[in-house]
Amino acid sequence: MSTGTGKDLSSMRKNYYLSHLAEDNVSKDPFEQFRLWFEYAQNSNIIEPNSMILATADKKGIPNARVVLLKSFGPEGFLFYTNYESTKGKELLENPHAAIVFYWPNLERQLRMTGSVQKISKEESERYFQSRPRDSQIGTIVSEQSRPVENRQALEESFYQLKEELEGKEVPYPENWGGFRFIPDSFEFWQGRPNRLHDRIQYKIDSGNEWKILRLAP
């Protein structure tokens, strides 16, 4: 089939061979396994290895997805920041279930998580907001994220106007902006392998609140 680009997508495929993953060579703790993979990605010349696809659904279950940046992680969860009144903000506030995907093609790795989010405290969000570059803080305030804007010029004018108004003052923290902590209830580590026989190692919490490791068919 032609794609209009002169390249036939149906014959585009790649064999994966870089690494492997087995039940007995992963950590028993998925957060530790995440840390190992994430650190490796950070040291692998990947552009923005902390960019992740965040999937949400509204209260009717209609899905949506976009990229956000992971800002910290640990056993307590995975932190990202956004506008609480944006499309994703509203979706997460009405339905906290979410999923996250990292895809690091150079490493032939995909990392998936399912779980739910909690809004972090205003104090924690404010602390992070104050650590951001001043122009990003101003940009955050003037952008009513996910709402229509008249045109690019209107957006830039409000940025420069606010920048002037705040000259010499601290940029006030906007309470409609802050962090969500994503708390996973499953992880899946996918490593590409030859012949489509990829490794998929899944962690799920069992009834005894322990992480159970399973291998899934590719």
Ligand X SMILES: Cc1cc2nc3c(=O)[nH]c(=O)nc-3n(C[C@H](O)[C@H](O)[C@H](O)COP(=O)(O)O)c2cc1C
One character per residue 137-156, x = contact with ligand X (rule: CB under 6 A):
--------xx----------
List binders of ligand X among 1-60 (CB under 6 A).
48, 51
Q: Are 180 and 119 in contact (CB under 8 A)?
A: yes
Report the nearest approach of ligand X to the CB of residue 176 (Å).
12
Q: Tell me whether residue 78 or residue 189 sits nearer to ligand X (CB atom).
A: 78
Report the nearest approach of ligand X to the CB of residue 152 (Å).
15
Tokens of residue 10, six digits: 């149906």
Nearest one of 147, 150, 59 to 97, comparing CA atoms: 59
Q: Tell me whether residue 91 or residue 199 sits nearer to ligand X (CB atom).
A: 91
CA–CA dist 155, 146 (Å, integer): 13
Nearest one of 69, 83, 50, 65 to 176, comparing CA atoms: 83
List binders of ligand X among 50-89 (CB under 6 A).
51, 64, 66-69, 80-82, 86-88
SS3 188: strand
Work out whether 132 is an interface residue with ligand X (CB under 6 A). no
Question: Cα angle at 61 between 55 and 66, to 5 degrees?
Answer: 20
Report the nearest approach of ligand X to the CB of residue 47 (Å).
9
Active-site annotation holds for 66: no
Number of residues this chain uses to bind ligand X (CB under 6 A) = 15
Helix axes 122-131, 134-142, angle to 10 degrees: 120
SS3 185: strand
Q: Tell me whether residue 51 or residue 121 sits nearer to ligand X (CB atom).
A: 51
Residue 79 main-chain phi, psi, to 5 deg: -105, 135
Sign for the pseudo-dihedral over CA of 127, 133, 134, 136:
negative
Query: From residue 119, how far is each of 72, 108, 177 by CA, in Å?
Result: 14, 32, 10
Report the nearest approach of ligand X to the CB of residue 92 (Å).
9
Report the nearest approach of ligand X to the CB of residue 216 (Å).
28
Of 127, 134, 147, 196, catalytic: 196
Catalytic residues: 196
Binding site for ligand X (CB under 6 A): 48, 51, 64, 66-69, 80-82, 86-88, 145-146
